[in-house]
Chain A
């Protein structure tokens, strides 16, 4: 039972444009959501998080939106840069445990 899903396995975006990565969850008890960036053979790197009491959190080029009624969150990266190319995981939690999505591979081309 995949409680956190990222339905797009890959996304290709031109440099300078906006990248939008989506994530859906099924457990309404989740109260904290995170986005991680991961390169092959490395551990995930934290990008940005959002608490369920908010609907938006922004940090530089990264903005996370949360729609609790739809059980959906998204990560916006603008402007996208070639260095953003990686696999992005969303994660959700309501205890100490993080439940990860399946990941979306983002490729930013010049």
Chain B
């Protein structure tokens, strides 16, 4: 089946620094990738949709200058949290949809802690 690899699985960074999270589709090409954030005991909230070769579409309330998304190839999307603050501490999950159609495959998530 389709596999999405996400790393790092957890990262601790200092306030004010930037963190990059990678999401790779291993055995399929993903024309569209999605980035979610989950706070403790809450739902997965869609942050943005990225399409290969074009700008990401951000959901309302998500700062595009803070959460930089790059989808430069059909197998890789990255989320960079810039100038991270403690309130950005969360669980970030990517998802990809194969260019052959079908369902959504999720990465294993990244636990970000900003200290």
Contact = CB atoms under 8 A, between A and B. Distances in A.
Nearest to A6: B43
A45 B1 CA distance: 12
Nearest to A97: B46
A23 to B, nearest CB: 11
Given A43-B93, A96-B32, A101 B106 contact: no
B77 interface: no
A101 B42 CA distance: 9
B44 A44 contact: yes
A96 B49 contact: yes
Give the interface size bracket for A toward B.
Answer: 20 to 34
B103 A46 contact: yes
Interface residue SS majority, chain B: strand
B28 interface: no
Interface residues of B, number: 26
Contacts of B49: 96-97
A44 B94 CA distance: 10
A43 B43 contact: no
Nearest to A4: B43
Nearest to A42: B108
A46 B105 CA distance: 8
B97 interface: yes
B34 interface: yes
Contacts of B111: 41
Interface of A: 2, 4, 9, 34, 36, 41-46, 49, 89, 96-103
17 contacts: A41-B9, A41-B91, A41-B109, A44-B44, A45-B106, A46-B103, A46-B104, A46-B105, A46-B106, A89-B44, A96-B34, A97-B34, A98-B34, A98-B95, A99-B46, A100-B43, A100-B44
